[in-house]
Amino acid sequence: MEQNFPGGKILRLKVGDITREPADAIVNAANSALAGGGGVDGAIHRAGGPSIMRELDQIRGKSGGCPTGSAVVTAAGLLPARFVFHAVGPVYRGGKHGEPELLASCYRTCLQLAEEQGIATIAFPSISTGIYGYPIREAARIALAEVTRHLNAQAGMLQQVTFVLFSEPDYRVYASCLEREPA
């Protein structure tokens, strides 16, 4: 599924493997310790090689990690991307502990980093909907709202945002949300 925006900008949804996505940057659903993990995080580290973790070790040495709702940038190692944005989404605890704002902040931070790095294409997973337990429909609405707002409002370099979703059911949820709340 694809949606067009002013200035030729595009939002795409697809099922696939984010580690194979030919984007300028891919987003990693990281943990606050930036220590690697399972799911998207584990896949990115396996496919990207050890250089990504070495950069994260340096970042951790300086800052101690990355706060929830924020992100840090590394090179992409062996991945087809140039950069990996390691975004720390919230663990879902019922939605009453600031989770919606923290999740929205992840997307806003990555979109801002994309503009700062001067990139044209970025690929996102569905942040926080795996082991962190965020209900996918709520997470999809937040993610799509932030990306739509950015593509409608910004005159920056970013031209294409792709959500690379893990499964067909996840894709259907995102597509349903995008159809209900178009740009």
Q: Which residues are catalytic?
A: 41
Residues 102 and 90: beta-carbon distance below 8 Å: yes
Tell me how far apart the alpha carbons of residues 115 and 15 are, in angstroms, rounded to a whole number. Answer: 25
- Tell me how crowded residue 101 is: count the other CB atoms within 10 A of its CB: 12
Spatial CA neighbour of 20 closest among 47, 38, 2, 39: 47
User: Which amino acid would we find at residue 14?
Assistant: K
> 180, exposed or middle or buried, with CB in 10 Å at 0-12, 13-18, 19+?
exposed
Residues 128 and 139: beta-carbon distance below 8 Å: yes
Tell me how far apart the alpha carbons of residues 12 and 159 are, in angstroms, rounded to a whole number. Answer: 11
The per-residue DSSP string of 165-179 comes to ESSHHHHHHHHHHHH
